[in-house]
């Protein structure tokens, strides 16, 4: 009977991973209800009882979810496949500081929690003390506490967690490390090194050109490789990442179904909440949203050496894991014109900023109008956060570490205490 139930559950997950894109009406409904995905501690017990009454199996997992990356998205897809409802715990700022020390968390807890609500496989989000999750476990009573082997090895997860689960019949699941193993710490370290070398190259080339310092070989983006869910029935974002050659067929399929196709484009290097909000606004303009990103080489041409910090495949995987994105395309050009020609979207959604005030004179606008398409400019969704700002914050601690000796104020403030011996007082 247990095998039969598991087979039925796996078939349901497999079916869900192949569902066609949501309609515009559904996407607007999801947007309006997004805030309901965030559960406060006091909501956990009530939500748990409601879901269990519906026969739903709850899976609970905890993470910092700093700098959302393909490993996070793949892990959450596997966690969701272990049950019906996935509740993602976002570690509180206080617990991140206790567990990881400086410079964590990189992003405040409420912003991290909001960003996680956009992940396709996450049903609810709650903020929890990662090192003290027992009260939340008791209130939520998940059938499965989905964990990673790494957290057991470093002592973050322990027998106290197991004891709490055993009190009501729950169980822990330890996911083995995916090889090669990628951690947020390694990502942070790589980003910091890239930014440091980028700054160093600029300084030396401007001030000591005779050195011919070239950091380019060490400024490659971080590549999370070909992430693939461990559970065969988990959502696989790879299935929704396309080449430019596939776009005409994709477009034709949806037009035959009478669906309105929307295109949004950006490098989306280190996805942040401003990106997610803007992409969701784009999705509300139609039934099917295609997010197009320039290749690593194109981004480097646009933004200079050291960018992107995340590889094209990594960026595409994260985008394909967002609940409002239906497809992702990687294009080799520095502009989106050829993508427009291939996809022929009904709407091209772009940011409203001073640099594109004359957008009606652009080749992209003319291409859209040539077949009756529409260009809509939307307001930027965050003025306080950007990928470059996150990169600089990550690099800040690395620079302090590298130059720790000369940045020790106590060492050079001490000589201010020295007094001249020429005045006869000494």
3 state SS of 339: helix
Query: Which CATH architecture group holds 237-378?
Result: 3-Layer(aba) Sandwich (3.40)
**Residue 209, CA distances (Å) to 142, 202, 213, 214, 303 in order:** 61, 10, 8, 10, 22
Q: Which regions in the chain score pLDDT beneath 50? A: 1-20
Residue 353: the pLDDT is 82
- CA pair distance 387, 106, nearest whole angstrom: 12
- Which pair of tokens denotes residue 395? 């690099």
- CA pair distance 277, 138, nearest whole angstrom: 33
Question: Is the CB of residue 98 less than 8 Å from the CB of residue 155?
Answer: no
CATH code for the structural domain at 2-175? 3.40.50.620
For the chain, which residues make up each domain, given as ranges?
2-175, 237-378
Residue 139: the pLDDT is 97
Strand partners, 350: 377
Residue 426: the pLDDT is 52
Instruction: DSSP letter for 310, please.
Output: B
Least Cα distance to 154 among 180, 136, 133, 131 occurs for 131
Residue 424: the pLDDT is 65
3 state SS of 348: strand
Question: Is the CB of residue 134 less than 8 Å from the CB of residue 161?
Answer: yes
Within 8 A by CB and 6+ apart from 419, the residues are: 425, 426
Instruction: Please report the sign of the dihedral spanned by the C-alpha atoms of residue 299, residue 304, residue 308, residue 313.
Output: positive
Least Cα distance to 267 among 306, 304, 307 occurs for 307
| Strand order across the 58-63 sheet | 38-39, 124-128, 85-91, 58-63, 144-148, 171-175
Instruction: DSSP letter for 332, please.
Output: S
The beta-strand segments (E) located in 232-303 are: 241-242, 261-265, 288-294
**In the Cβ-directed half-sphere of 366, how many Cα atoms lie within 13 Å?**
4
The beta-strand segments (E) located in 142-296 are: 144-148, 171-175, 241-242, 261-265, 288-294
- CA pair distance 192, 69, nearest whole angstrom: 16
Least Cα distance to 305 among 217, 396, 207 occurs for 217
Residue 356: the pLDDT is 80
What are the tens digits of pLDDT across the range 173-202? 999 988 777 777 788 888 888 888 888 888
Our CA angle for 327, 333, 338, nearest 5°, is 65
Residue 17: the pLDDT is 45
What are the tens digits of pLDDT across the range 317-376? 999 999 999 999 999 999 999 999 999 999 999 998 877 888 899 999 999 999 999 999
The beta-strand segments (E) located in 119-256 are: 124-128, 144-148, 171-175, 241-242
């Amino acid at each position: 009977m247990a095998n039969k139930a598991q087979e039925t559950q796996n078939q349901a997950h497999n079916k869900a991973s192949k569902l066609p894109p949501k309609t515009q009406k559904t996407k607007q409904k999801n947007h309006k209800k997004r805030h309901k995905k965030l559960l406060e501690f006091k909501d956990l017990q009530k939500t748990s009882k409601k879901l269990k009454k519906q026969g739903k199996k709850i899976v609970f997992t905890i993470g910092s979810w700093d700098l959302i990356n393909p490993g996070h998205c793949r892990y959450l897809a596997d966690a969701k496949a272990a049950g019906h409802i996935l509740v993602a715990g976002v570690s509180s700022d206080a617990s991140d500081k206790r567990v990881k020390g400086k410079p964590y968390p990189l992003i405040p807890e409420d912003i991290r929690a909001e960003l996680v609500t956009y992940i396709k496989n996450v049903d609810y989000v709650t903020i929890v003390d990662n090192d003290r999750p027992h009260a939340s476990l008791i209130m939520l009573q998940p059938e499965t506490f989905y964990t990673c082997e790494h957290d057991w090895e470093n002592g973050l997860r322990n027998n106290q967690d197991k004891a709490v689960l055993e009190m009501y019949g729950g169980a822990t699941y330890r996911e083995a490390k995916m090889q090669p193993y990628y951690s947020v710490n390694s990502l942070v370290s790589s980003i910091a090194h890239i930014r440091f070398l980028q700054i160093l190259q600029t300084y030396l080339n401007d001030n000591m050109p005779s050195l011919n310092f070239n950091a380019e070989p060490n400024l490659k983006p971080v590549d999370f490789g070909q992430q693939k869910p461990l559970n065969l029935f988990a959502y696989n974002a790879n299935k929704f990442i396309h080449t430019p050659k596939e776009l005409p067929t994709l477009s034709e399929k949806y037009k035959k179904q009478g669906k309105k196709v929307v295109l949004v484009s950006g490098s989306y290097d280190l996805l942040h909440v401003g990106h997610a909000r803007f992409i969701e606004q784009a999705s509300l303009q139609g039934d099917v949203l295609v997010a197009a990103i320039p290749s690593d080489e194109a981004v480097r041409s646009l933004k200079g050496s050291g960018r992107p910090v995340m590889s094209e495949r990594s960026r595409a995987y994260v985008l394909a894991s967002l609940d409002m994105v239906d497809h992702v395309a990687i294009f080799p050009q520095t502009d989106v014109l050829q993508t427009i020609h291939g996809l022929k979207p009904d709407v091209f959604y772009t940011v409203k900023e001073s640099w594109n005030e004359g957008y009606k004179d652009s080749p992209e606008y003319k291409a859209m109008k040539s077949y009756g398409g529409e260009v809509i400019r939307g307001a930027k969704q965050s003025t306080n956060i950007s990928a470059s700002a996150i990169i600089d914050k990550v690099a800040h601690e690395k620079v302090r570490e590298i130059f720790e000796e000369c940045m020790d104020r106590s060492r050079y403030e001490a000589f201010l205490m020295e007094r001249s011996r020429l005045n006869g007082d000494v």
